[in-house]
């Protein structure tokens, strides 16, 4: 078993690590942007894929990864983990349907509420104690799921049903589908940027580059919020006009 994940602010990384550690202490977790991730998928029969949902959909980077490597999924047993700020609908189901087209066997899905990661919006923001409670409840959910899998062999199937599909479609995807059909060009970098290079070094897409002492957007943003949550000058925004709170998992533990 191997885990491959996209994690912007650390929420998804925490969840997949906790899930895999409980099931298989020898299993590795590999960021999706690392070149060795596809080799690990080729060599393993059981794969856990994890990512944050965006408007009840799959981040385009993750969908693109699956499609570009469509020949590797036949016969692979896939379990999907998604993280969400409040609502996911069929966040796992969106990728499950793509994987099934390429011959994958979907073991199940788990959709986990975690602290909000959209740094440039006041929506869904919580206090430190509330976020700690959310993480505690997420951990309990993961523990319950893994205990059930170990005892019965049955995987949870959250987000994979037809009602979940309708909830995701009509709840968010129909209204915001254009935001997830490709990489975003809307990342903005203010004059507060000091050209430190941190954003360029951590971007999973290689979307940022330092030119003439300032970060430059190459218009291939996957909306993971990793750079926005880490910029020391809060100089990067995406959906909003200013950084409200830098949302990183390690702040809450």
Mean per-residue pLDDT, 109-118: 96
Res 109 pLDDT > 90: yes
> How far, in Å, CA of 164 to CA of 194, rounded?
45
> What mean pLDDT, rounded, does the chain reach?
95
Res 253 pLDDT > 90: no
Residue 213's pLDDT is what? 93
Residues in the chain, how many?
Answer: 253
Residue 123's pLDDT is what? 86
Residue 124's pLDDT is what? 84
Banded model confidence at residue 199, pLDDT cuts 50, 70, 90:
very high
Residue 177's pLDDT is what? 86
Mean per-residue pLDDT, 87-92: 94
Banded model confidence at residue 52, pLDDT cuts 50, 70, 90:
very high
Report the b/e string of 118-154 with b at 16+ CB within 10 A: bbbbeeebbeeeebeebbeebeebbeebbeebeeeee
Contact 92, 82 (CB under 8 A): yes
In CATH, what number does 2-177 get? 3.40.50.360
Domains 2-177 and 188-240+247-251 share a fold: no
Mean per-residue pLDDT, 210-217: 95
Banded model confidence at residue 28, pLDDT cuts 50, 70, 90:
very high
Res 54 pLDDT > 90: yes
Mean per-residue pLDDT, 184-198: 95
Banded model confidence at residue 133, pLDDT cuts 50, 70, 90:
very high
pTM, to two decimals: 0.94
> How far, in Å, CA of 66 to CA of 128, rounded?
35
Mean per-residue pLDDT, 25-54: 96
Mean per-residue pLDDT, 57-78: 97
Mean per-residue pLDDT, 94-102: 97
In CATH, what number does 188-240+247-251 get? 3.30.70.20
Res 187 pLDDT > 90: yes
Banded model confidence at residue 227, pLDDT cuts 50, 70, 90:
very high
Res 25 pLDDT > 90: no
Mean per-residue pLDDT, 1-5: 97
* For the chain, domain boundaries: 2-177, 188-240+247-251
> How far, in Å, CA of 115 to CA of 134, rounded?
7
> How far, in Å, CA of 118 to CA of 53, rounded?
12
């Amino acid at each position: 078993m191997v885990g491959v994940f996209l994690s912007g602010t650390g929420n998804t990384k925490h969840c997949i690590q906790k899930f895999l550690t409980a099931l298989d202490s020898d299993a590795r977790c590999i960021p999706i942007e690392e070149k060795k991730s596809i080799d690990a998928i080729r060599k393993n029969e059981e794969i856990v894929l994890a990512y944050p949902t965006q408007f009840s959909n799959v981040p385009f980077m993750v969908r693109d990864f699956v499609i570009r490597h469509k020949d590797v999924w036949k016969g692979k047993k896939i379990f999907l983990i998604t993280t969400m700020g409040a609502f996911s609908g069929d966040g796992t189901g969106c990728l499950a349907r793509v994987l099934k087209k390429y011959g994958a066997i979907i073991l199940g899905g788990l959709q986990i509420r975690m602290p909000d990661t959209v740094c440039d919006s006041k929506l869904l923001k919580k206090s430190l104690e509330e976020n700690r409670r959310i993480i505690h409840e997420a951990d309990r959910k993961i523990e319950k799921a893994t205990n059930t899998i170990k005892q019965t062999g049955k995987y949870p199937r959250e987000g994979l049903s037809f009602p979940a599909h309708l909830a995701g479609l009509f709840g968010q995807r129909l209204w915001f589908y254009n935001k997830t059909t490709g990489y975003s060009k809307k990342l903005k970098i203010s004059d507060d940027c000091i050209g430190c290079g941190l954003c360029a070094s951590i971007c999973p897409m290689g979307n940022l580059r330092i030119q003439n002492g300032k970060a430059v957007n190459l218009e291939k943003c996957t909306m993971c919020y990793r750079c926005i949550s880490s910029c020391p000058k809060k100089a990067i925004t995406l959906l909003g006009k200013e950084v409200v709170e830098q949302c990183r998992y390690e702040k809450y533990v």
